Amino acid sequence: MERWRKLGLIAGGGELPVLLAEHCRASGAPYFVARITPFAEAALEAHPGAGAGLGAMGARMDALRAAGCDAIVLIGQVPRVDPRTLQLDAGAMAMLPALLAAAPKGDDALLRAVLTEHERAGFRVIGAEAAMADLLAQPGSWGARTPSASELSDIKRAAKVAAASGALDIGQGAVVCEGLVLAVEAQEGTDAMLRRVADLPERLRGAPERRRGVLVKRPKPIQERRIDLPTIGVRTVEGAAAAGLAGIAVEAGGALVARLAEVVAAADAAGLFLYGFAAADVDA
């Protein structure tokens, strides 16, 4: 198991940073939360840390060093912005050439550049699952329902679509219903993609009384897996249920699940399956 003296959480928006901070506090592990304002959740203010804007990269690293952090997790949602529109401190200005060079190459290239700059500054970058193993998606069915043979076929097709899209650094998800590709995730994110599916005619998708189709999320083939792993939570289940889907599948070991017990309860209540597939099974 990876070890460190004190963990720094560079926290964007969403519930995952809150969940990880709560885990560190409950386990007694030393930690410090570097909140990216205004994106980080207000709940993080109850944890030891400091807030700084996205462009205050130097100040954020200084705060992490002063707190004694030797390892960091980059976690949470931060919208893609043009670095030239930010108020940059001296530390960020030093990183700007690398970030500007990476930005036109896609999200993964930009995230790799951010990661590299933090490593160059002396921090060890780890994945969220290294700090909290319970976040990582496990293989098999998690709830009351298991996918049928036809649903497994949809999972395999959606996984291939997501892999093809991810290879071009477009997105991490796809929706397939009875072999028909209904949506591919891009910059809008999973929630917006599911709303698009919900707006489709019911002859193309499922409905609460006759659920059809699956959402699949998996890492991009080109992805640096220490950052930006695909994530699902209760809101994902709610979006899939509203779109009439039969279930959600993610790559086992390649996705994060926020508050698994709550996710399973929501899926069971809605009649959806939750499934972790092996990459080798869908890519064959």
- Please tell me the predicted confidence (pLDDT) of residue 79: 82
Residue from 170, 75, 164 nearest 128 by CA:
75
Please list, residue by residue across 57-69, b when 16 or more beta carbons sit within 10 angstroms of its beta carbon and e when fewer do. bbbbbbbbeebeb
Helix, strand, coil distribution of the chain in percent, nearest 5: 45, 20, 35
- Please tell me the predicted confidence (pLDDT) of residue 218: 97
Per-residue pLDDT of the chain (284 residues; tens, 9 = 90+): 458 899 999 999 989 999 999 999 999 999 999 999 999 999 999 999 999 999 999 999 999 999 999 999 999 988 877 767 788 899 888 888 888 888 788 778 888 888 899 999 999 999 998 989 889 999 999 999 999 999 999 999 999 999 999 999 889 999 999 999 999 999 888 999 999 999 999 999 999 999 999 999 999 998 888 888 899 999 999 999 999 999 999 999 999 999 999 999 999 999 999 999 999 999 87
Bridge partner residues of 49 (DSSP): 33
Q: Which CATH class is domain 136-283?
A: alpha beta
Q: Which fold has domain 7-133?
A: Rossmann fold (3.40.50)
- Phi/psi for 227 (5° steps) reads -135, 145
Task: State the Cα angle at 216 between 211 and 219, rounded to 5°.
Answer: 170
For the chain, the domains span 7-133, 136-283
- Phi/psi for 94 (5° steps) reads -65, -30
Tokens 């992805």 found at: 223
- Please tell me the predicted confidence (pLDDT) of residue 1: 43
The answer to whether the CB of 190 falls within 8 A of the CB of 220 is no
